Amino acid sequence: DGGITQSPKYLFRKEGQNVTLSCEQNLNHDAMYWYRQDPGQGLRLIYYSQIVNDFQKGDIAEGYSVSREKKESFPLTVTSAQKNPTAFYLCASSGQGDQPQHFGDGTRLSIL
Amino acid sequence: GEDVEQSLFLSVREGDSSVINCTYTDSSSTYLYWYKQEPGAGLQLLTYIFSNMDMKQDQRLTVLLNKKDKHLSLRIADTQTGDSAIYFCAESRTLSGNTPLVFGKGTRLSVIA
């Protein structure tokens, strides 16, 4: 089945450690997105990519990095510079034109 | 302002209709979306409406758009306990597509049996 796969479902980070969240899609979508969700909050955009080898910062990019080497994959690294990384991270993708965004099931990141 | 606004909570009895409201900010928004999020899960696309439409119906869901007032609503007929979730309104602010959506903070719908 076509869809978006995020892994792992749960992730724990130690102080000073970088961690990488995986997002893979087999929908042949051009654009991919990373959002952060905190309790009682809406979704805030971290980074997005409209095409391979290109990406743009969102509203809260500090402390995060991304790469887009393949169309199917858009991994997000939470660096040690992100001082409050505990949150639910959602990856999405969308196709050409006005196609809606579709979401993965999320990764919950916690601090040890 | 820049925000998409939604009320945070709604409680209804099973079998009644639910109406979730949203106000958006950009009169040039092209598409407006409703997503549903169940606990611990991602967002599920429920329905969306193009800005030149007034209404869209899809089974138990009815979306109404008042472009003059920048007001969007989602009506769920015959609400069931399985409809309990958080509902997000989102707007697309460009014509070109493939750009991030702007989301409201979500409305938590509780259905009382």
* Residue B22 near residue B13, CB atoms below 8 Å: no
Task: For residue A32, list its beta bridge partners.
Answer: A49, A93
Report the C-alpha gap between B90 and B48 in whole angstroms: 9
pLDDT confidence of A73, banded at 50, 70, 90?
Answer: very high
* Residue B105 forms contact with A (CB below 8 Å): yes
pLDDT at B96: 59
Is the peptide bond preceding residue A8 cis, with omega within 30 degrees of 0? yes
pLDDT confidence of A23, banded at 50, 70, 90?
Answer: very high
CB-CB neighbors (< 8 A) of B85 in chain A: none
* Residue B17 near residue B5, CB atoms below 8 Å: no
> DSSP 3-state assignment of B81?
helix
Structure tokens at A33: 């997105």
The per-residue pLDDT of chain B, averaged, comes to 91
User: Cβ of A94 and B30 within 8 Å?
Assistant: no
- Model confidence over B46-99: pLDDT tens digits? 999 988 889 999 999 999 999 999 999 999 999 999 999 999 999 887 655 677
Supply the DSSP symbol for B82: G
Which of A9, A43, A99, A107 to probe by mutation at the B interface, max B CB count within 10 Å?
Answer: A43
Report the C-alpha gap between B59 and B38 in whole angstroms: 20
Residue among B82, B50, B60 at smallest CA distance from A100: B50
pLDDT at A91: 97
